[in-house]
Amino acid sequence: MRLLDIYAKFQKDISFIEKELERSIDVEHPILREASLHLLKAGGKRIRPVFVLLGAKFGNYDLERVKHVAVPLELIHMASLVHDDVIDDAQTRRGQLTVRSKWDNRIAMYTGDYIFAKALTIVTRLSEPSIHQIMSKALVEMSIGEMEQIRMFFHTEQTVRDYLLRIKRKTALLLAISCQLGAIAAQASEKTAKQLFNFGYNVGMAFQVRDDLLDICGTEKEIGKPPGSDIKQGNITIPVIFALQNPALRPVLLRELERIEASDGQTDVTDFLNMIRASEGVTRAEAMVSHYINKAIRSLEGLPDIQAKRDLVNIAHFVGNRSY
């Protein structure tokens, strides 16, 4: 099933959130507005707002309340992308110039700060302390995850556990709280919110492993940037960690990694990618994606059999198989 087909059913609500997103960054400052809009127009799957909407369907669905969670969560995601691009020296994302390459690093940093702050002003319109607590704690974890990623650049001794903890913080947590906060904003029960958290968490883990696989196995056309950008910046992802566990492959991979690090990422990584592609690293990472997708779907057991539940299951399958 294509994501578009799943989204079609609640297109009206998604368009509403999209308009609210635009409205939220309608700032007078010229560069800030342009940089934020540029980012917004670059699109994206809007999975976080969609998870919020679907989570809210398990309670008293009220778009006017739910938007105060859906919009901030997408803004937080956008802000973290801008800050990532500063770190990554990324020139393009989703085939578009990044804020830092179109303007500069300083503007990217403050655009990110602005979007973060804007996200907070919106969520303050809901008064439940639990919503603020959950969101701010996730922000702390996200920033630790980002730091951890830098610390682990070209760190060939890292374990599967290191990786999993990192992608939990970097990706899975925000998807988890998207589902959870949708439910909380709609006054669903605590148990329902917890189940939805688990769903989002597991989909998020699968999402990131799939993303890391795509950076190794995808084409530039599919992923909107040249493959291998992870390894060029030193980000050792799970297919590589698995491949490094193969005693026959390990020495040659270590030599390649040393060469890439020495070149500061300014080298051809085709050989390296081909070795990983041919290794069991890819198949084991694929299995990991399936494992998390299955866990995600099982998290929904016992929830009422409404359309939103079927939509979540379909999105989970899409995330498991996506090639973009």
Q: Would you tell me which residues interact with a copy of itself (CB under 8 A)?
A: 27, 29-32, 83, 86-87, 105-107, 109-111, 113-114, 116-118, 120-121, 124-125, 127, 129, 132-133, 135-137, 139-140, 142-144, 146-148, 150-151
Report in angstroms how near the CB of residue 35 gets to a copy of itself at its nearest: 9
Report in angstroms how near the CB of residue 141 gets to a copy of itself at its nearest: 8
Report in angstroms how near the CB of residue 312 gets to a copy of itself at its nearest: 28
Q: Which is nearer to a copy of itself, 133 or 187 (CB)?
A: 133
Residue 51: CB atoms within 10 A of its CB come to: 29
Report in angstroms how near the CB of residue 206 gets to a copy of itself at its nearest: 25
Q: Which is nearer to a copy of itself, 34 or 211 (CB)?
A: 34
Q: Which is nearer to a copy of itself, 3 or 144 (CB)?
A: 144
Report in angstroms how near the CB of residue 297 gets to a copy of itself at its nearest: 31
Asked if 71 contacts 122 with a C-beta cutoff of 8 angstroms, the reply is: yes
Q: Which is nearer to a copy of itself, 87 or 214 (CB)?
A: 87
Q: Which is nearer to a copy of itself, 9 or 29 (CB)?
A: 29
Closest CA relative to residue 94, chosen from 11, 264, 211: 211
Tokens of 168: 């939990």
Report in angstroms how near the CB of residue 124 gets to a copy of itself at its nearest: 4
The one-letter code for the residue type at 61 is Y
Q: Which is nearer to a copy of itself, 129 or 302 (CB)?
A: 129
Tokens of 183: 């439910």
